[in-house]
Structure 1
């Protein structure tokens, strides 16, 4: 793919991607993952979703790749594995520690990727959940400062979208898999047609 993998674009340097491009990438990955989970009779769980496995075309449209660890998932069955294989930092707690495989493992990975795309930092700090309000406030101030210097943005509207995406990322990395949303709900939340209130209350 012309622009290589997403991994090399996870940065907060002055040359970093603008918000519109980051937004396009987040939405593209989400639609791709929804297709894997809900687009066929038997869901596909990727199990190694990370920036290095997301390639970008000439327009920065993302493509999910590398299905070497992927599993078909029968909703009527529980899949357990004795040895979880994947990439540390992107594996959900229930998969990494107990070998429990469900679509929620990919949702956790997606949450990590969303946080990394927005913050521009690889291996985003996991202790942000102890003070998520302060974390959101800090990140939003950075984005306000950045957008004020760039043409073509409606500051308040774009900041509302960025804050919503940060909250969705936090919701996806909930340690309790039962409190993570499905891909359909994530898409609806990204588009602003699904309330996040119940998920925000369940963050801890």
Structure 2
């Protein structure tokens, strides 16, 4: 996550410059991670792409991982509407859910760099995992406002585990399909995701 903000007051121009620098670092980091991979990429490579000093980098982030955590936080408003669409589906059919799954796959394709980075690092870095887990729990709560199966997941540890595993499976499936690791010549992934969702949403309380 970002380093604690400076306690002194900034005027609007200073704040605008701060935000521009932060965004430049994050954009440069994504480009560098995409080319070199997270582990091999150095802070120096990010600095060169961003055109900022080492001091400017550490004024915003305490490490590469801190930077990725900020990317994950800023990314939430982009992926959340896809799940708001799922939450808005009333008693969805398999066809409705397959259409949603294609939408989610398309989102992964459009944002392949960020989705790929987070999908890989979340299994390796505890700090990022727990940040994403909090986002997932908030997502389960949002979906629970419409779908009883997700509402049960906010009340029962067993149901929560099933919901978390389902969402994890969907994202991992999208990641591997988009990367070409799981061949999907007949667009079958969307149907499989839909079937998993449909089964979960239509479970009775146990």
State TM-score, norm by structure 2.
0.30
Bigger fraction of residues in strand: 1
State TM-score, norm by structure 1.
0.30
Bigger fraction of residues in helix: 2
Q: Which has the larger radius of gyration?
A: 2
